[in-house]
Structure 1
Amino acid sequence: MEPLTSVTAIANSPSSTALSALDARRSVPARKLAEPGPTASELQRMLASAVRVPDHGRRVPFRFLSIAGDARATLGDAVAARGLELHPDADEAAVDKDRARFSHAPLVVVVVAVLDPDDDAIPEQERLLSAGCACFALLQAAQGLGFGATWLTGWPAYDPAVHALLGLGAHECVAGFIHIGTPTFEPPERARPDPAALLREWVPAA
């Protein structure tokens, strides 16, 4: 087996434009995302890249909801009210946090995982993973167009009442809330796992 080539060397090679783009991805906190957000045509371009994900059986097990403008505050108000239903003793800071969840970035894209149980040949997990891939591809596409983005969930992603508010079906769930906007600062690099430490060669038992 040939020795592993240095990931850093590959990323710095002249022919590594695509790898460099992958290596440059950073999550930008939602509070650090401001106007301008993507135009309608820019969003469509991002989604054109986001749908190019592994999809066993071509099921397209995901769809997208865009939340922008006043709809962000409307959703935040509803989520804050739902939070108080669940936790009547919540303090003002917690309620304010829920109310502002979707109001920082100019655009929030909800990636909805579609898990209709109409094909037992394709496990639900594989369809959920495809939706997760769409979340990550959308992050990459947003940064590729010069925007910042972050993938968030939080309790609203798992709450049935919020699902109903968003119009999700019985066999749908939120894979992620992708917040997109113009970054107001340069996100720093953080420590990343060493891929060499994570890799082991499988050797069949004698």
Structure 2
Amino acid sequence: MPDALSALPPAVAALLARASVPPRLLREPAPGAAVLDLAVAAALRAPDHGGLRPARFVFISGAARAALGALMADSLARREPATPAERLDIERAKPLRAPMVVAAGAAIRPDHPKIPVWEQEASTAASIMNFLNAIDALGFGGVWLSSGALRDEMVKRALGFAATDRLLGWIYLGTPAPDRPVARAIETAGIARDWVPPAGP
């Protein structure tokens, strides 16, 4: 793939070369303020009906990661009271696996007269992908993960999100280890097709 990518426009080549980097392969340093600012600016180029800019990013690093881990473990204990202590310890340690975690969410306007909630969430998801693409293009690595804590109102409130907002994912960020995953060839057959209108009666 690398030889084929070299002949493409750089933006397209970057998209085709991107691969998620699991937390265990993310090292210090995390992206700094300048890189994060660029990634957020790229995020805001996503399709956004009405210019609502619903995407929100909360950066969590240093000791704050342990506090996030405590929130996640407490959330799991509330949702699943029978969870063994060992499993809670694993949940508590999750944010410590990478130098930075980003809580990505959508600031929803539920009563907007023209733009339904699903469009606001879709716009935010597109923004998150733009953010990840920019992070990768700027020499860092990341992965977008989920967990039950994203649907916990107490977690959402602790992170500063409003009751009507939605948490859409945890983005783990850092510098990729040398053995980071590389993009594999993608088979596009069966994914896209031309539409042929059905014949009339």
Residues 30 and 100, structure 2, Cα contact 8 Å, conserved in 1 = yes
> How far, CA to CA, are the matches of 2:120 and 2:168 in structure 1?
11
Equivalent position of 1:81 in the other structure: 74
CA-CA distance at 1:181 after TM superposition: 0.1
Matched, 1:40 2:33: yes
Percent sequence identity is: 38
> How far, CA to CA, are the matches of 2:65 and 2:6 in structure 1?
43
> How far, CA to CA, are the matches of 2:80 and 2:164 in structure 1?
26
Residues 18 and 182, structure 2, Cα contact 8 Å, conserved in 1 = no
Instruction: Provide Cα deviations, 1:32-82, integer angstroms capped at 9, x if missing partner.
Output: 211111111221121111111000010111211111111110111122123
CA-CA distance at 1:146 after TM superposition: 0.6
Instruction: Provide Cα deviations, 1:130-153, integer angstroms capped at 9, x if missing partner.
Output: 100111111111111111100011
CA-CA distance at 1:156 after TM superposition: 1.0
Q: Tell me how large the CA RMSD over aligned residues is.
A: 2.1
> How far, CA to CA, are the matches of 1:185 and 1:161 in structure 2?
38
Equivalent position of 2:119 in the other structure: 126
Equivalent position of 2:96 in the other structure: 103
Instruction: Provide Cα deviations, 1:100-134, integer angstroms capped at 9, x if missing partner.
Output: 12112111121111111231311211110110011
Give TM-score, length-normalised by structure 1: 0.88
Equivalent position of 1:3 in the other structure: none
Which structure 1 residue ranges, 5 or more long, are not aligned? 1-7
Equivalent position of 1:205 in the other structure: 198
Give TM-score, length-normalised by structure 2: 0.90
CA-CA distance at 1:189 after TM superposition: 4.4
Which residue identity is paired with 1:98?
Answer: E
Residues 111 and 134, structure 1, Cα contact 8 Å, conserved in 2 = no
Which residue identity is paired with 2:50?
Answer: G
1:111-190 residue pairs with structure 2 within 5 A?
111-189=104-182
Residues 33 and 106, structure 1, Cα contact 8 Å, conserved in 2 = yes
Q: Secondary structure at the match of 1:103?
A: helix
Q: Which runs of at least 4 in structure 1 moved beyond 4 Å after TM superposition?
A: 189-193
Residues 73 and 89, structure 2, Cα contact 8 Å, conserved in 1 = yes
CA-CA distance at 1:31 after TM superposition: 2.1
Instruction: Provide Cα deviations, 1:169-189, integer angstroms capped at 9, x if missing partner.
Output: 121011221111011243334
Which structure 2 residue ranges, 5 or more long, are not aligned? none
Residues 157 and 174, structure 1, Cα contact 8 Å, conserved in 2 = yes
> How far, CA to CA, are the matches of 2:141 and 2:10 in structure 1?
19
Equivalent position of 1:23 in the other structure: 16
Alignment CA distance shift 1:12-1:192 (3 Å): closer
Q: Secondary structure at the match of 1:161?
A: helix
Q: Secondary structure at the match of 1:197?
A: coil
Q: Secondary structure at the match of 1:111?
A: strand
Q: Secondary structure at the match of 2:31?
A: coil
Number of residue-to-residue matches in the alignment: 199
